[in-house]
Amino acid sequence: MRQRFGKFFAVIIMALATAAMTTPLLAHHGWSWAEHGNSEVTGVVTKAELGNPHGIVTLDVKGDVWQVEVGQPWRNERAGLTDAMMSPGVTLTAKGHRSAKPDQKLLKAERIVIDGKTFDLYPDRD
């Protein structure tokens, strides 16, 4: 009996530890960290770190540094957006939701516009 209780207790501790470690990672994903209203930012790409879980494109916006969270690789591909399109020197407009923290220059993009062409990363969102 005591041995079963020990194994059960160990499983519970491992589950709680796993939940505690993953909760901060999940807190950023989704939309809860962003404002509800739509925003847009236009700038020149200075750096693009694309990949999972999502890509980050850094823009120079009139001297300010902005980060734009784009979709996962599969989402970008589905929208027709390639990594080469977001290379340094490219001017793009990101439309989506900016961080709820006013001092943070971060926007989660729903749509990316390059050379007048719109790439809809989240077609189900307005």
3-state helix, strand, coil in the chain (%, to 5): 30, 35, 35
Quickly state the pLDDT bin for 22 (edges 50, 70, 90). Answer: very low
Confidence of residue 124 (pLDDT cuts 50, 70, 90): confident
pTM, two decimal places: 0.72
CB-based contact 89:39 (threshold 8 Å): no
Which of 104 and 24 is assigned the larger pLDDT? Answer: 104
